[in-house]
Amino acid sequence: MTTTMPAELDDLADLDRSRPNDLEAEQAYLGRVTLASNGRRMLRDHPVAGSDFYRPAHQTIHAAIHAVADRGEPIDPYTIAAELQNQGALSRVGGSVYLATCAQAAYYGGDAEWLAWRIRDLAQRRALIETGQRIAQLGWIPDTDADAGDLAENAVDLARTVRDAGRAAEDSPVVDMLDFLDGPDPGYDWVSPGYMERGERCIWTAGEGGGKSVLLRQIAVCIAAGILPFDGRPSEHGAKKVLVLDCENNVRQSRRHYSRLFAIAEQHGMAVRRGQFHFDLRPEGVDLTRAAGRAWLMRRVEAVQPDLLVVGPIYRLHEGDPNDERHARAVTVALDQARLVADSAMVLEAHAAKGNGQGPRPLAPVGSGLWLRWPEYGMGLRPVEDARSAQEDRARRVIPWRGAREERQWPAFVCQGADGSWPWRSYKPIDADPFTGISPTGALS
């Protein structure tokens, strides 16, 4: 039987001349290692295999860097040039001039994590192309005695090798569930007892002017002062370190708002101590889909190591289409990295989606549906049904718009606090059921 290979597969060999690569990223990575204050740490925290580099000269430079590191010598352009000279490879890679080119590229490339990911990602794509060629050849072997099912299994094994390259060795062993349950009871690691545990993510939403920004400021100051939000009692876990990255408000607005809140904490005998509350403004927003934006975030989180990180609002964290899940996913990846580095709880604010004029306004965040799935807790503020309480007392229902993963003690109703007290306080409506707490109107009095 004669078979004819489709024209598309005839062109596979041409792909070898244009395999995916980013030589500038490779240069920048090598340059960053040689210029870093701790090059060994960068090699450890953001590793790249020598075979991941597309250009052979970069593989040679990378090997020289590791040779110098293994001997415990300083990693810098001079020691790397000397190592390459000793190997007889300096002129082959382009000489000291090319090492200087790599060093210069480091100033314009992305951060170390992104560069390492970029190089590994493109290496895996090249491996995928090569594997695809091999799989195509398996299918086009004429008059073979091999069973098609066996060939398909062979193809799966080849694809699995590409998927697991450099990853399987990093996997932790699978644990028997009985052994897992025999471990010590971890208990709760509270940032604010009953409200937020370390590592948790919470998004608060409301309509425009609904009070969510004020609420987040109150939560942040209370936790930094060691106060439980809404009831003013001291936290049994004490004050926690807070970092607020405000991507919307300006200096004057922020100073007015926080001056009042700090004064309230002091009046209650729980003043915020120096070093407990850190703050940075970025009223123009920050694009966490870009390396520069991610680096801005990580520098602040790494410097402060907060117990609570407050960021937002969400719509100011990237410049793309708010409904595009790719942008939202890139932002959540950056936020999760920051949260994991500090092992902190995280609170964000978002605008609630517009209503259709029929029934109450929905409280889910505007934009990508990813924001519905990402946090452990999603809470929203909605005016109560009693018009007088809603207008005069700013009475609000606190409504979970995402199924909570564990029970928390957020109040069901909040309203405007009295002069000299916290902006928001919890309350029990006059028509609340004594057993369920359900109130048809939310009326304050």
What is the 3-class SS of 64-119, one letter each residue? Answer: HHHHHHHCCCCCCHHHHHHHHHHHCCHHHHCHHHHHHHHHHHHCCCCCHHHHHHHH
What b-and-e string marks burial along 131-169, b requiring 16 or more CB atoms within 10 Å of the CB?
Answer: bbeebeebeeeeeeeeeeeeeeeebeebeeebeebeeee
Q: What pLDDT, on the 0 to 100 scale, is given for residue 384?
A: 95
Query: DSSP assignment, residue 355?
Result: P
Render each residue's pLDDT in the chain as its tens digit; 445 residues.
Answer: 344 444 444 444 444 457 899 999 999 999 999 998 888 888 988 889 999 999 999 999 999 999 999 998 999 999 999 999 999 999 999 999 999 999 999 887 678 888 999 999 999 999 999 888 888 888 776 655 677 877 888 888 888 888 777 665 555 677 888 887 887 877 899 999 999 999 999 999 998 888 999 999 999 999 999 999 988 899 999 999 999 999 999 999 999 999 999 999 999 899 999 999 999 999 999 999 988 899 899 999 999 999 999 998 999 999 989 899 989 999 998 999 899 889 999 999 999 988 776 778 889 999 999 999 999 999 999 999 999 999 999 999 999 999 888 889 999 999 999 888 999 999 999 999 999 999 999 999 8
Q: Which of 380, 387, 394, 389 is nearest to 423 (CA)?
A: 394
d(CA 354, CA 337): 31
Q: What predicted TM-score, i.e. pTM, was given to this entire model?
A: 0.67
Q: What pLDDT, on the 0 to 100 scale, is given for residue 7?
A: 43
